[in-house]
Amino acid sequence: MLFALVFFLDGLQLVNGALFFNIALTIVSFLMCHEFYKALEVKGYKPIKILGYLCTLFLIPIGVVKTYTMMMICASVIPIIIFIGMLISIISKLKYNIVDISITLLGAIYTVFMVAFLAATRAMPLGVFLLFYIIGGAWFSDIFAYLFGRFLGKHKFSNISPKKSIEGCIAGLIGSVVFFVGYSAVLNNINIAEFHEASNNIAIVNKIENEEFINEEEKTIEKAAQEKSLPTTDYEMQQILKEKFYNNYLLLILLGLFVSIISQIGDFAASAIKRYADIKDFSHLMPGHGGMLDRFDSILFVAPIVYYTFYIMIHI
């Protein structure tokens, strides 16, 4: 519910869009990173948690600071983690061994850098709407798999997650396809210009764009985008998607199926970690639902797939 509120406020521009979203995303990422390290600590490992926690801060500027410098900094984080981890291992006289450093890096990649694709998708034109392809595709797959698996599931799929059935997995595929086709039909009939006009009328705080604060790097990026005919506004992105995506049912079905498969792999991956750590849930943050990582496990794997789908689509 909290994340839904973030999307709602973001879409109505009641707050500073991408920055507000990224701050909320950073908090979610921090909680997931903590849950991951805590689960592995149960098995006696000693991840260097502070490194993973600090990595979550890099989510804040994604899409907000649009410079090549920011891109290079983000790309350098993983080598920096390895270097600092090795340095700490040497200084501590192997108190933290190579396995601990590897777990530290895996935690950062799993709960931070895969989350970064949500921020990157939000930074795209029409990003507020495109995000729901990630979340809706994963959650509809989970919901259909759960409901049909619970009442019709008779054949167990894997010992990693005994409650999941083959029937449920197939239903998950259908659920994701239903969402992709239905949601695309809705977006295809939305007038983006009218949406922004309505949202601006009820906005408490409007985003003010001041050309004096746009640095030379950002101008260079915008100029390059225009020369390549890349979308720089929501309206331009909407036209591209109407032409290439919304009515391409074969693509929607294939992408829906692929997203569901990836979503279920993400779910099984999280279950494998919990089974290895001998825990039922990553935490008790949400009673009856487990921790933050329990809720976002499938989304983590889906986010890169959806992001690159739209990235490729607007560059070809």
**pLDDT tens digits for range 89-111:** 899 888 899 999 999 999 999 99
Query: What gap in Å lies between CA 56 and CA 112, rounded to an integer?
Result: 6
Beta carbons within 8 Å of 292's beta carbon, 6+ residues apart: 28, 31, 32, 35, 282, 283, 285, 286
Chain mean pLDDT for the chain:
82
Query: What gap in Å lies between CA 78 and CA 108, rounded to an integer?
Result: 8
pLDDT of residue 20: 85
Both tokens assigned to 109: 């990649």
Q: Residue 273: which of 38, 25, 24 has the closest Cα?
A: 38
**pLDDT tens digits for range 212-252:** 444 554 554 455 455 556 777 888 889 899 999 999 999 99
Query: What gap in Å lies between CA 22 and CA 32, rounded to an integer?
Result: 15
Handedness of CA 73, 295, 302, 46 (dihedral sign): positive
**pLDDT tens digits for range 248-268:** 999 999 999 999 999 999 999
For the stretch 233-239, contacts whose Cβ atoms lie closer than 8 Å and that sit 24 or more positions apart, written own/partner, are: 233/125, 234/125, 234/126, 234/192, 234/196, 235/192, 235/193, 236/125, 237/124, 237/125, 237/126, 237/314, 238/126, 238/187, 238/190, 238/192
Beta carbons within 8 Å of 132's beta carbon, 6+ residues apart: 7, 183
Domain ranges of the chain: 1-123, 126-316
Residue located via tokens 């998708």 = 121
Residues, the chain? 316
Query: What gap in Å lies between CA 271 and CA 281, rounded to an integer?
Result: 9
**pLDDT tens digits for range 169-196:** 999 999 999 999 999 999 998 876 655 5
